[in-house]
Amino acid sequence: MLLLCLAASTAFAQQTYLHCGTLFDAKNGKFIKEQTIVVEGDKILQVKKGYILPSKTEIKVIDLKDKTVLPGFIDMHVHIESETNNTSYINRFVNNESDTAFDAAMYARRTLLAGFTTVRDMGGSGVNVSLRDAIRDEKIPGPRIFTAEKAIGTTGGHADPTNGYRKKLMGNPGPAEGVVNSPEDGKKAVRQRYKNGADCIKITATGGVLSMAKNSQNPQFTLEEIQAIVTTANDYGMQVAAHAHGDEGMYRAVMAGVTTIEHGTLMETRTMDLMKEKKAYLVPTITAGKQVAEKAKIEGYFPDVVTPKAIEIGPQIQNTFEKAYRRGVPIAFGTDAGVFPHGLNALEFEYMVEAGMPVIEALQSASITGAKILNSSNELGQLAPGFYADIVATDYNPQKNIKTLQAISFVMKGGQIFKQD
């Protein structure tokens, strides 16, 4: 009996009441006035109409009556280990894993404080897996992470880690390093990612902008290779995301059954229609496109092989997003943070709205849509009973001022307060 009383007392002591002036109901796509969220432990216990006071004075009450309160944001495309700068290309030769880990911890904290309580990491060195676990175990602050561990590419492709190396360093990387050249290689690479602790798979279906290879848009996998990767990933309970700028590569990826297309820069209407048919999502990363185009104007910022690709590809992403949205392609929020400074993720909301997406749909793309793709629709993306207490607040209603999402004043993740201005 004593143990039961102690347990009940502990659970009760963990309750927090949040008085919310305006609350965003992500499921129904509407803002509701004067609500109270009751948090117990790491979950939301209740959401009640009006400003309810707890029966016990020791229960904490947080006054957010002058705030707009939203579910913690979900960014479906970040690179949490790194951040582009003018030394990025030399860092991989001089930094140790421990250097990467310290950097990643800093980026994770910055991301969380910007209101992003969950992210999908789209590839790094493998430190991302340890970072995910450290955050989960509450060793360091950061967003909830779903990671692809290392991206999978083809020899000389966008995810080949030895692109740009001199021959003596280049070697012959294979599936263990995420480089494949056949369906069988693809299966092995997926299984290696699973063994290494990945939550999902990321392939580079076309060339890319920041890799040391000249083509940014050519298809880099056969249909059969992607099909083998998707089938194997699904067998292991994982979904596949496909980086793609050129249309042919992304068309093959959608045909093969990937869940998301990242960037989608040169997407044609045939691929848009196929994505609607296959229920594949576009993760637009408009911010990354704009940022690399700006950095390309700085002489010497990127290597010579990268600069023309950044100038060509970067400015087109927002226009393609607008076309895809208007055609009815499903959209999930994603930024490619790491290509630009972590913590600026909310710029993406502004660019999405600028391109014609209503504010409510943009918010849903960063809440219920991301949760659905992550197979977490019963835990993430809503302010509702039984969901994780991932709660953020801002000073203004984003329907009136979308830039307010870039100035988050309150962050709670899993019932713990990390920011309260």
In whole angstroms, what is the distance from residue 183 CA to residue 190 CA?
11
pLDDT in tens, 191-250: 999 999 999 999 999 988 877 777 778 999 999 999 999 999 999 999 999 999 999 999
Report pLDDT for 302: 82
In whole angstroms, what is the distance from residue 324 CA to residue 166 CA?
40
Which one, of 33, 117, 24, lies nearest residue 346 by Cα?
A: 117
Report pLDDT for 412: 98
- Burial class of residue 139 in the structure, from the number of CB atoms within 10 Å of its CB (0-12 exposed, 13-18 middle, 19+ buried): exposed
Which one, of 375, 419, 321, lies nearest residue 116 by Cα?
A: 419
Report pLDDT for 3: 39
Report pLDDT for 295: 85
Report pLDDT for 9: 39
**Stretch(es) of the chain classified as CATH 2.30.40.10:** 2-72+382-420
- CA torsion 313-314-320-321 (nearest 10°) is 150
The dihedral through the CA atoms of 215, 219, 222, 226 has a sign that is positive
Helix/strand/coil for 296: coil
Report pLDDT for 110: 98
Report pLDDT for 345: 98
Highest CATH level, class, for 73-373: alpha beta
Give this prediction's pTM: 0.94
- Write the Ramachandran bin of 279: left for phi over 0, alpha for psi from -120 to 50, otherwise beta: left
Q: Which residues of the chain have pLDDT under 70?
A: 1-13
Hey, which bits of 148-217 come out as E strands? 153-154, 179-180, 201-204
In whole angstroms, what is the distance from residue 200 CA to residue 370 CA?
14
**Stretch(es) of the chain classified as CATH 3.20.20.140:** 73-373
The CATH homologous superfamily of the domain defined by 2-72+382-420: Urease, subunit C, domain 1 (2.30.40.10)
In whole angstroms, what is the distance from residue 251 CA to residue 334 CA?
20
Report pLDDT for 307: 87
- Write the Ramachandran bin of 331: left for phi over 0, alpha for psi from -120 to 50, otherwise beta: beta
Residue 392: its H or E element:
strand 391-394
Report pLDDT for 13: 47
